[in-house]
Amino acid sequence: MLNSIGLQNPGVEYFMEYDLPWLKNQDVAVIVNACGSTIEDYVELCKILNKADIDGVELNLSCPNVKAGCLAFGTTYEGVKEVTSKVRKVLDKPLIVKLTPNVTDITLPAKGAEDAGADAVSLINTLLGMSININTRKPYLANNTGGLSGPCVKPVAVRMVYQVSQAVNIPILGMGGIINGGDAIEFMLAGASAVSIGAGNFIDPYTSVNTVKGIEEYMKNHNIEDINDIVGKVKMN
């Protein structure tokens, strides 16, 4: 899937008044994805979220940084460390930093998050992609480029999760093309303590349920009692 839908939403006040009460009745953990255009945006948003009855915050550092020429916060060690450290000062709740894959070395932003006090990192966000209509000779997306997700990005995501697992000591939430239990196991073997499913839900609304069943089947077939026993246990050639 190649998309450029942005991060439009009704805002944190609306979320806290209307969406959060419903979520709290679903017997699930509530982790809020927070985004912004400037460091000040992130800090102000997390100040508000720190007072909310939520279980944690995922800091989306793949957003445009208006004050830095529309670069992404998450592309450098320094950028990730700066925004994460300032948010950490105002947020007492668990903090996950979501990293962009559109970098030369994914371990540097991950280290920046760890050094700034993040409790975990999540990766990967979408890869930057483009598609052109050969008849009009114009890109299909109005924004020209967009985020590529789905099964096609999984090998890149697994590789980056492995690299980050070798560079930091905090937990990793792995994502990128997971559509079944085998995919999830790959991420765990590479070093992910947990996994997330995105584009797969567009293919089949039961993707998450079936993935859990697939993980359970794998555990039975390999006599695994604790799924944590396989985290980071890939046997490299």
Given 46, 63, 70, 152, the catalytic residue: 63
Instruction: Report pLDDT digits (tens) over 45-95.
Output: 999 999 999 999 999 998 766 667 667 778 999 999 999 999 999 999 999
Model confidence, pTM? 0.95
Instruction: Give the Cα-Cα-Cα angle 39, 44, 46 (nearest 5 degrees).
Output: 95
What backbone torsions phi and psi does residue 97 show, to the nearest 5 degrees? -105, 120
Contact between residue 186 and residue 155 where contact means Cβ atoms under 8 Å apart:
no
Q: Would you state the pLDDT for residue 72?
A: 76
Q: Would you state the pLDDT for residue 65?
A: 64
Instruction: Report pLDDT digits (tens) over 182-222.
Output: 999 999 999 999 999 999 999 999 999 999 999 999 999 99
Instruction: Report pLDDT digits (tens) over 95-151.
Output: 999 999 999 999 999 999 999 999 999 999 999 999 999 999 999 999 899 999 999
Q: What amino acid occupies position 4?
A: S
pLDDT-derived band at 7 (thresholds 50, 70, 90) equals confident
Domains and CATH numbers, the chain: 2-223 (3.20.20.70)
Q: Would you state the pLDDT for residue 8?
A: 82
- Catalytic annotation on 152? no
Q: Would you state the pLDDT for residue 5?
A: 85
